[in-house]
Amino acid sequence: MNLLTPYSDPHPDFSFWDAATLTFTIHHKRPDPVRLLPGLCFTGEFLKSHNLTAMRSMYKMSFQSLCRRTLFAMVPMLASTVLLAAPVDRPASGTDVDETRTVAQRPTPPRDCLSITLSGVTVLLDRQELARKAAVQSSPWTTEAERLAFIESQRASALLSAATAGKGENGCTQVNGALDGEASAVVLAALESGTSAVLVNDSRHPIAAVAIRYLGTRCGPLCGRGHIMVYVPGQSRPFLVQDWWVS
């Protein structure tokens, strides 16, 4: 299907913004959805004012009337949400879902590690892996894989830049203070893929796994929201919560 040609049916059943893939989806009254490439409906001034570098597109603007009807649902998300690149096969966005997965983590910390503490839980990331991602040069991107690699590169660079010069008691370079959206996205990606080590209550021994809950709730044709929450198994409160999608 040509992404620059909309369906003849101008009345979609619903639409949603998937923060996992930076994609706006229009579901029409037929089985297959239309997926619009990032930036397709936005002016250059809008993108520049919101500093959405990862969403810039070489495609010319179209779907103007459709954008006017649906952009109001995206503005809060664009202004405040954390944009996440999807590292794993998550449940479908824009649907009612409540799924919890147990994801095994590294049994030992990386030799060259980056330490982030979230609500009393310490997540250790591999600094060398972050450096490899940060070194990727995929702009301007031409494929979906290059687009996601570019997003990961920018986020890895931001997290590495936030690290302190010295090392903490656990032997890892520290990231102090509250994480911004880009940094939180990197941490979630590592937890979802099982490439981090997780310490609880100042223990030096990583726990075996974390529980990741995907919670999505629809409340109408243009109403709904999804979150991703990460828990230490057996604890009732998540140590990491991220926006996932909004409609």
Which is more confident, 182 or 186? Answer: 186
Tokens in use for 49?
């004012």
Please tell me the predicted confidence (pLDDT) of residue 11.
43
Question: What is the distance, to the nearest Å, from the Cα of residue 25 to the centroid of all Cα atoms in its chain?
Answer: 16
Q: Which three-class secondary structure state does DSSP give residue 36?
A: strand
- In tens, the pLDDT along 91-106 reads 999 999 999 999 999 9
Please enumerate in sequence order all residues whose Cβ is within 8 A of that of 125, keeping only pairs 6 or more positions apart, or say none: 110, 113, 114, 116, 159, 186, 187, 190, 195, 196
Q: What is the pLDDT of residue 56?
A: 38
Q: What is the pLDDT of residue 72?
A: 43
Report pLDDT for 86.
Answer: 47
- What percent of the chain is modeled with pLDDT above 90? 42
* pLDDT at res. 40: 34
List pLDDT tens digits, range 56-69.
343 333 334 444 44
Across residues 32-43, what is the average pLDDT?
A: 36
Question: Which range is least confidently modeled, 7-21, 130-144, 191-205?
Answer: 7-21
Which pLDDT value is given to residue 74? Answer: 43
- Do the bridges between strand 209-220 and strand 97-104 make them parallel or antiparallel, or are there none, so unpaired? antiparallel
Domain ranges of the chain: 14-80, 97-246
Arithmetic mean of pLDDT over the chain: 74
Report d(CA 154, CA 188) in Å as an integer. Answer: 15
Whether the pLDDT of residue 76 is over 50: the answer is: no
Kindly state the average pLDDT of the residues 132-140: 81
The answer, yes or no, to whether residue 32 has pLDDT greater than 70, is: no
Q: Is the pLDDT of residue 229 over 70?
A: yes
Q: Write the DSSP assignment of 77-141 as a string of letters.
A: HHHHPPP----S-PPPTTS-EEEEEEEE--SS--SSEEEEEETTEEEEEEHHHHHHHHT----S-
What is the distance between the alpha carbons of residues 125 and 190, in angstroms, rounded to a whole number? 7
- Tokens 């409160």, located at residue: 237
Identify the residue with better confidence: 24 or 91. Answer: 91
Return all residues near 106 (Cβ < 8 A) that are at least 6 apart: 124, 194, 195, 196, 197, 206
pLDDT (average), residues 212-239:
95
Q: Is the pLDDT of residue 226 over 90?
A: yes
Specify which of 33-37, 49-53, 219-223, 240-244 reaches the highest per-range mean pLDDT.
240-244
pLDDT score of 4 more than 70: no
